[in-house]
Structure 1
Amino acid sequence: MPITATRGWPANVLLAVVFNLLILQSILTLPVIAGVTYSRLRQEIFRWVGVVAGLGLWVPVALGTWPGGAFRGVEMVLLSLFFLATSIRLVRLLARVPRVNVQVMAGAAAGYLHLGLTGGVLATATQVLVPGSFSLGAAASNQLMLDRLTYFSFVTIAGVGYGDVLPANAVGERFVILLSVASTLYVALLVGLLLGRFIASEEVEMLEDDALGLEQVDQSGPP
C-alpha cells in the first residue's frame, strides 16, 4: 500500500496487480448458493463485471496516467459494484455455515478487511462522480485518490477519526453514515453470530468425545 500510494508507472502496475488478484480470488473462491443467493445469470454478470473492472485498471498502466472524460468514473463504479457484491456474498455465506472452525473465523476477519477496501472503492467512486464530496487533506497532492480514500475508509470503520480526511458535503456525510453503520453491524451481528456458533461447536465436540469415551468403557466391560 505505501508503494501504490505514490504516483507513476510502478504504482499503477502494483495497484492493477493487487486488485486483479483480489478480483480473481473473489470469483474463484466464493461458491454460489444455488437457488438462494445468485442464479446462473447473476453469477455470469458478477464474473464479467469483475473481469471488465480488472482489465480497466491496466488502461492507466498502458497510457501512463488515468485517461480523461468519464472513464475513471465508469471504472470506479464497476469496481464498486463488484466489491459490494463480493462483500454481500461473503457475509451471506458466512452467515449460513452450520459449524464454525478456524477457516471460517479467518474468513470473517478477511471480510472485515474486505469491507474496508470496498469502502475505499465506493468513496473513490463518490469523489469522482460528485467532486468535492471529501476533503482529502494536505497529502492529497502526493497520493493517489484511491489509496487516500481507502485509508479514510479503514479509519472510519475503526472509529478512530483522525480528522485529516473529512466529508465535505451532504453526499460525503451520508456515505460516512452508511459505512459506519455497515461496519458496526458487521462486527456486532456477524462476528457475534460466528463466535456463538464456534462456542456451540466446541461444546458439541466435547459432548461427542465424552459419549465416545463412555461407549469405549462400556464395551471393555468390568475389569
Structure 2
Amino acid sequence: MPLTSHLVRLPSAGLLLIQLLGILLYPLLEDLHQGRALLSAFGVVVLAAALRMVRRSPAVVWIAVVLAALILALMLANALAPAPLPALLLAALEGSFYLYAAGSLIAYMMEDQRATTDELFAAGATFTLLAWAFAYLFMVCQMLNPGSFGAQLAPQAPRTWMELLFLSFTTLSGVGLGDILPLTPMARSLVMLEEFSGVMYIALVVSRLIGLTIASRRP
C-alpha cells in the first residue's frame, strides 16, 4: 500500500512523521537567511496536522480552531512587522494549542477499551506534541525573563528554538541528558511540570495502551 494511503488511514502516523521530520529540519533551517519564514511555513503544516487529529477526538473542536486562527494571524503579523509582543503572544498561543492538541489525543486514546494501530501512533504523536508545547512555554519564559536558561556553550546568550526543544525532549523523556539548565524560578517550575507530565503520561496512558494490546492478543 502506498505511503499516502497509510497516512490517510492512520492520521496519527502522519502527525508523528511530520513532527519527527521537524526535528531533522529545524537545525538546517535555523541558520538559513530565510530560515524564519521556512520555520513558520513548516509550523503551519504541523498546525494543520494537529488540528486534523483534534477533529477526530472527543475534544471541543472550536477551541482548537480559534487557537489555530489566532496563531495564523499572529504568524502573519510577526512576519510583516516583527516585534516582541506579537512574538510573545504567538509563542504562548502555540504552547496552548499544542497542550490542547495533546490533551485531545489522550482523550482519543482513552475513549474505548481497545488499542488500535492509529492509537499506538497517537501515543508517539502525543509525546511530540507535549514536547513542542513545553518548548514554546520555555520560549515564553525566556522572553519574559531573559537568562532563564543557561548552557555551557554561550551561557549568556538567549537559547535558540532548537535548544529549547532539545531541553523539552530530554526533560519529558526523563533521560536527563543535555547541557541546558533552568536558572530562574519560573524556568525551574516549568521544567518540574514537564517532568511530572512525562512521568504521568508514561504511567497512565502508555502503560494502558500496552496493557490493552497484550490483552487483545491473548487467546
TM-score norm. by structure 2 comes to 0.78
Distance in 1, Cα, partners of 2:52 & 2:176: 35
Contact conserved, 1:12 with 1:60, CA < 8 A, in 2?
Answer: no
Distance in 2, Cα, partners of 1:102 & 1:135: 40
Say whether 1:121 aligns with 2:153.
no
State how 1:179-198 maps to structure 2 within 5 Å.
Answer: 179-198=194-213
Q: Secondary structure of 2:29's match?
A: coil
- State the Cα deviation string for residues 68-115 of structure 1 (Å, max 9, x = none): 341111111111111111111111211223311222111111111222
Distance in 2, Cα, partners of 1:58 & 1:160: 37
Say whether 1:44 aligns with 2:62.
yes
Distance in 2, Cα, partners of 1:2 & 1:103: 29
Instruction: Identify the residue that residue 12 of structure 1 maps to in structure 2.
Output: 36
Distance in 2, Cα, partners of 1:101 & 1:183: 22
1:143 deviation in Å? 8.5
Relative to structure 1, is the Cα distance of residues 60 and 147 closer, same or farther in structure 2, using a 3 angstrom cutoff? farther
Relative to structure 1, is the Cα distance of residues 120 and 132 closer, same or farther in structure 2, using a 3 angstrom cutoff? same
Distance in 2, Cα, partners of 1:136 & 1:75: 25
Distance in 2, Cα, partners of 1:97 & 1:5: 41
What is the alpha-carbon root mean square deviation over aligned residues? 2.4
Amino acid at match of 2:92: V
Q: Secondary structure of 2:217's match?
A: helix
Tell me how many residue pairs correspond in the alignment. 194
Instruction: Identify the residue that residue 54 of structure 1 maps to in structure 2.
Output: 72
Amino acid at match of 2:72: G
1:57 deviation in Å? 2.8
Structure with bigger gyration radius:
1
Name stretches of at least 5 consecutive residues in structure 1 with no aligned partner: 207-223
Distance in 2, Cα, partners of 1:162 & 1:60: 33
Distance in 2, Cα, partners of 1:139 & 1:4: 20
Amino acid at match of 2:39: L
Distance in 2, Cα, partners of 1:118 & 1:124: 10
Relative to structure 1, is the Cα distance of residues 87 and 139 closer, same or farther in structure 2, using a 3 angstrom cutoff? farther
Distance in 2, Cα, partners of 1:8 & 1:136: 25
Distance in 2, Cα, partners of 1:97 & 1:146: 37
> Which structure 1 residue ranges, 4+ long, deviate > 6 Å from structure 2?
140-144
1:179 deviation in Å? 0.4
Amino acid at match of 2:40: A
